[in-house]
Chains A and B, each alone.
Chain A
C-alpha cells in the first residue's frame, strides 16, 4: 500500500506537498518571530549583565534597569503605550513577567543563559550536552556558600493562553519560573535555544498532530481504493482475519503519516530549528491518540459509506469532517476564540485534548496525564468500534 501510494501523484501531494505548503505558508506568516521586537527589562543584579548580553544575541532590545517595585503595573503601563515588554526580576530567584507572547521564549533563553553562566563559573561540571529530562549535578553558589547539588528547573505557567491575554485586554502574561537550585527531581526545560518561539512551536505541534489525525482521510479513501480495485473482495476471501486486513490498511496509512511527519521534521531541522518537538513524549503520545482517533473515524466513515452507498464512489465525508474537527479542536485558530458554549463541548474532543496536552508538554513541560488518558481511551474505543463494525466487504 505504501509503495502504491508513493507512486500515486495525489497521495504524494497530500502526504508530502500539502504539509510542506502549510509549513511554508505559516512559516512565512510567522517569520518575524525569530527576531522578536520586544523590550526586555532586567532588574540590576550580579547576573543581569550576563543575561542581557546573552539575550541581545537573539536581537532583543534589552535594558538593565533598577529594581521595579510593581512589575505588573509597570508592564501594564508599557502595554497601554503599545509596547509589549518582558521584565526579568533577578533577586535570587528569577521571575519573569510578560505582556508579550515572547515571554515564554525569553524564559527559555534566560534559563539557558543562567545555565551557561553557571557553567562558565564552574568548569568542572560534567554535562552530556542535553538539558532535557536529566538530572544535572553541579556546583552552585548560594548565600556565599558553595553547594554541590542537583539542579532543577520548574516552570509554572499562569493558566491563561496568549490569545486570552490579548482578548481580555489585560495584556498580562505572567510566566514565573522558580529559579532555585533544589535537591532531587529532574529537569524540565523548554528548548528555545535557537530562537524558535512559542507560537511557531505550537504550530509545529499542531501540524504534526494534524498529520496523525489526517489518517481519517487516508483510511477512508484507501478503503474506497480497495473497493474500486476489487481488492475488498480479495480481502474477504483471504484466509487472514478481517482485523489483520484492516490493521494492515491502517498500518499503511500510519506509515504515510509518519512519512509526512518525517518530511516536516527534516525541513524543520534544515532550516535550523530543533526537531525536539517531534521527540517530546507528550507530542508522541498525543500523535498516537490522534492516529487512533483518525483511524477509528476513517473506518467508521468507510462503514457508513458501504452501508449507505455501497462505497461505489469516494466518500465525501472525510474532508469536511476533518476540517471541522481540526477547526473546532484549535488546530487552525485558537480554540479560545470559539463561543463559550461550543468551547465547553469541543474541549472534550480527543483531538482537542491531544492538542492541548502536546502543546503544554512541549512548551511548558507540563503533563496532564489524567485528562489525556480519558481522551486517549476515547480514541481507542472509537478505533475498536471501527474495527468491530467494519465488514471489510459488503455482502450484497
Chain B
C-alpha cells in the first residue's frame, strides 16, 4: 500500500493569459495533515479541484492512492476521498439528516442509519440532525458539511478553506475537529490563507502563490527562512549574552532543541519558549 496518498507532479494551469498554477509538485503522506497555504488568488482552489478533476489541468500528473487520475477519478479512488470544496453547501430546505442521505445517494455511498448517526456524532452535530439546514448557524453548517465529507469513511479528506467564513471560536472548533480526524488516521489535504491556522494545525505546509514557494513543517520552514525561537527566562541573575526584556531575560535559538543548551548553566525560576514569528518567515517567503 502506497505511503504517498496524494502525488502532484509538475501541474500547471492557465486561464487565458493568467497563470493560476505553474509547475506545482508535492506529496501528501498517509496520516498527514497537509496544508496548501496562500493568499487569495494563489491557485489553491484550482489546485484542489484540479486534483479531483473538477478543473482541467494543462500539464502535470496527479496520483491519488498511487493511481494516476486524469479528469474525474475512478469511483474506486473517489469513494476513498471525502471533500469539502469551495462554494459547497447543502440543500437549505432539508434537514441535516436528509441532506446526508442525499449526499450519500448522489455519491453512491451505501450508508445505514447507524453510519449516518456516527458521522454526525463524530462532528458533534447529532443534536441538530433533524433541524433544517437553513436554520443552522455557520459553524453548525460546517460541521454537517464535514459529516457529509465523512460518509463512506474516507481515507483522504480534501478541504478547501474549511474554516472560512467562521468566527474565531468556530474556526478553531472546526479545525480541532479536523485535527482529531487526522489523529484518527485520516489523511487531510486542506487549504487556507490564514497563517495561524496553517501553523497551528498542519504537519506540513506547501506555500503556494501560483507556484510552490516552499514545502515543509513549520520547523523546517523556520529553519530554512531564518526565523528564531524566542526563549524567555526569569532568573535571579542575568545569563551572559542575553537581552533584558522587562524583568525577564530573552534569548533566541534556531530550534527548540537548542533551548536546553542555552539554559544549561542558568538558574531559571520560570521559562517560556515561543515559536518564531511566522508572519515574518512567511513574509520573507512571499517576498522571495
In chain A between 235 and 262, which residues have their CB closer than 8 angstroms to a CB of chain B?
235-240, 245
A393 to B55, CA, bound (A): 10
- Asked whether A3 lies within 8 Å of B103 as measured between CB atoms, the reply is no
Residue of A nearest to B89 (CB): A229
In chain B between 54 and 106, which residues have their CB closer than 8 angstroms to a CB of chain A?
54-56, 71-72, 75, 78-79, 83, 85-94, 98, 103, 106
Which residues on B are within 8 Å of A, measured CB to CB? 15, 46, 49, 52-56, 71-72, 75, 78-79, 83, 85-94, 98, 103, 106-108, 132
A contact patch SS? helix
Q: Which residues does chain B contribute within 8 Å of A236, judged by CB atoms?
A: 53-54, 72
Q: Chain A 219-239 against B: per-residue CB contact (8 Å), 1 yes, 0 no?
A: 000000000111101111111
Which residues on A are within 8 Å of B, measured CB to CB? 3-8, 228-231, 233-240, 245, 393, 395-396
Known pairs A4-B94, A236-B53, A395-B54; list 10 more (Cβ under 8 Å).
A3-B93, A7-B93, A7-B94, A229-B90, A230-B88, A233-B49, A237-B83, A395-B56, A395-B71, A396-B15
Known contacts: A237-B54, A237-B78, A396-B55. The answer to whether A4 contacts B91 by CB under 8 A is yes
Q: Which residues does chain B contribute within 8 Å of A245, judged by CB atoms?
A: 106
- Asked whether B132 lies within 8 Å of A7 as measured between CB atoms, the reply is yes
Q: Which residues does chain A contribute within 8 Å of B55, judged by CB atoms?
A: 395-396
Residue of B nearest to A235 (CB): B106
A229 to B84, CA, bound (A): 12
Residue of A nearest to B83 (CB): A237
A396 to B16, CA, bound (A): 11
A237 to B79, CA, bound (A): 10
A-B contact pairs, 26 of them (CB 8 A): A4-B91, A4-B92, A4-B93, A5-B93, A7-B132, A8-B92, A229-B88, A229-B90, A230-B88, A231-B91, A231-B106, A233-B85, A234-B103, A236-B53, A237-B53, A237-B78, A237-B107, A238-B108, A239-B75, A239-B78, A239-B107, A240-B106, A245-B106, A395-B54, A396-B54, A396-B55
Q: Which residues does chain A contribute within 8 Å of B92, judged by CB atoms?
A: 4, 8, 229
Q: Which residues does chain A contribute within 8 Å of B79, judged by CB atoms?
A: 239
A143 to B182, CA, bound (A): 97
